[in-house]
Amino acid sequence: MTGLVVLAIAVPLLLAYLWLARAAVRYAKRKTGSNLVVTFVVVGFFVVTFGDTVFNRWYHKEVLCKREDVGVRIIEKIQLPVDFMDQKTQRPNFPLPLDQPFFKQFSTAELRTSSGFFPLTAHGRKERTIVNNQSGKVLARFVDYYPLGGSWWLVPIDWFGEDTLIGWLNSRQRRPSCFGGATIDSLSTISSYFRMTYQEEEK
């Protein structure tokens, strides 16, 4: 059903685009008789259609993903009690029993913001933190950026919104993270924080 709805929207849009492109080429050919002008018209159509997307993805990769806050940063390390350590290897026993009282003092928080100018530099920022509930201190932070601009020609499909299946499927293809593929969820659990802390100590 979803596929039929997407096709019902995409096919007319594609046909209208092809018709408009063909009409513009024929008009330029008839008025000027110049193959060079026709070439410029064709290139112009591609630039108008995809140029904003290309620039937005370049801005994401070459500007946003090179900011200093991107990635995981361990701010403060918490030592695990001996009850959760392997006595022989002195390594944490993963997976950690997060239902134990010790882990109740930690929590995860996530903040998503958006900025930039659509369609060229629009982007989203995802920040996930591990917080010590008792002191209020941030123990670790993970930051990632994903593009929101470009692809103005997909706006009609975006009207469905990401809360719908069609909008969700569409958005999955347009939001690469700074780490390749879909946005990853580092620091998604308290256990991942302690795992990363231990890995840092091993280096």
**Distance from the Cα of residue 12 to its chain's centroid:** 29
Structure confidence at residue 64 as a pLDDT band (50, 70, 90) = very high
Nearest to 196 by CA among 85, 94, 56, 68: 94
- DSSP state string for 138-194: EEEEEEEEEE----GGGHHHHTT-TTSHHHHHHHHTT-B-TTSSBPP-TT-SHHHHH
Q: Which residue has the tokens 């209208």?
A: 16
Q: Which residue has better confidence, 144 or 120? A: 144
Q: Which residue has better confidence, 200 or 141? A: 141
**Residue 42 pLDDT:** 75
Tell me how far apart the alpha carbons of residues 126 and 177 are, in angstroms, rounded to a whole number: 10
Q: Which residue has the tokens 């993805």?
A: 57
Token pair in block for residue 167: 């909008």
- DSSP state string for 12-52: HHHHHHHHHHHHHHHHHHHHH--HHHHHHHHHHHHHHHHHH
pTM of the model as a whole: 0.67
